[in-house]
Amino acid sequence: MMQLRTLFFTSILLPWILSTAAKDKYMEVRRPKKDTANFPDYDTVQDSVTDPAAAPKAVVYCEEVFPEMSAVPALPKETAHLYARFNKITKIRNQDFADIATIKTIDLTGNLITEIDDGAFSKLLLLEELILVENKLTKLPMLPAKLTLFNANFNQLKTKGVKATAFKKLTGLAYLYLGNNELTAVPQLPESLQVVHLHNNKISTVTDETFCRGNSSYYIRTNMDEVRLDGNPVVLSEHPDSFICLQALPIGWYH
């Protein structure tokens, strides 16, 4: 009896239910879609895009290139992120990024860069992250206003090669890494900073104006979470008023 009921349902009743549901638009039958990759036609899209931020984006990797790469290669105009780490690049020229209005990240870690033209990055209005770790820089060029992260750890930067106001005007800068250089003074720091690393330099003194406002005992740096000054000749105990505006004392080992 059970077999007869099952046969009746599958052969007569179920087809009738499905056809009725389809007629009444309660059910839609579709073929499964195939996984496809759609690549934008940059030639046609670029012509219709007037806002660089809305243009198609590309990520370019050219790391440890062989044979050796000693200069920034020609880049697609829609490049948003460039990773050219561990090559033999020695200089950054004004023209290297002149036509790349969409770029947001430049990572040149582990090259041999000794010189950067002063205007090489200044006109990159969308650039947010600039990473120059492990190069041979003694001075810095002009920096674009929209930077949120700048990392130049492990270079040969000297105070005379870094303008006192180089970072002060970067009102969105949150992360600043200048460790393992040859700086003798702390540059002026923007209010937006959350993390600043200045460890392993030659900084011998700080004042109540370095991080705080000497004329105000009520001022608190609410954004700054982390400061590193370890590995410098400065003796923090000799400058007790230099950190009263910070929510936490500098981290690291000190004499």
- Average pLDDT (75-99) is 97
pLDDT of residue 237: 86
- The answer, yes or no, to whether residue 5 has pLDDT greater than 60, is no
Higher-pLDDT residue of 140, 255? 140
Higher-pLDDT residue of 177, 67? 177
What's the pLDDT tens digit per position in 55-78? 567 999 999 999 899 999 999 999
User: Which amino acid, 174?
Assistant: A
pLDDT of residue 254: 66
- The answer, yes or no, to whether residue 217 has pLDDT greater than 80, is no
- The answer, yes or no, to whether residue 200 has pLDDT greater than 80, is yes
Q: DSSP state, 108?
A: -
- Average pLDDT (205-221) is 88
Lowest model confidence (mean pLDDT) among 12-16, 84-88, 209-213? 12-16
- Token pair for 56: 């198609």
pLDDT of residue 56: 60
CA distance 234 to 206: 8
Is residue 246 a contact partner of residue 221, using CB atoms and an 8 Å limit? yes
β-partners of residue 92 are 116
CA distance 85 to 95: 19
Task: Compute φ and ψ for 136, nearest 5 degrees.
Answer: -130, 40
- The answer, yes or no, to whether residue 28 has pLDDT greater than 50, is no
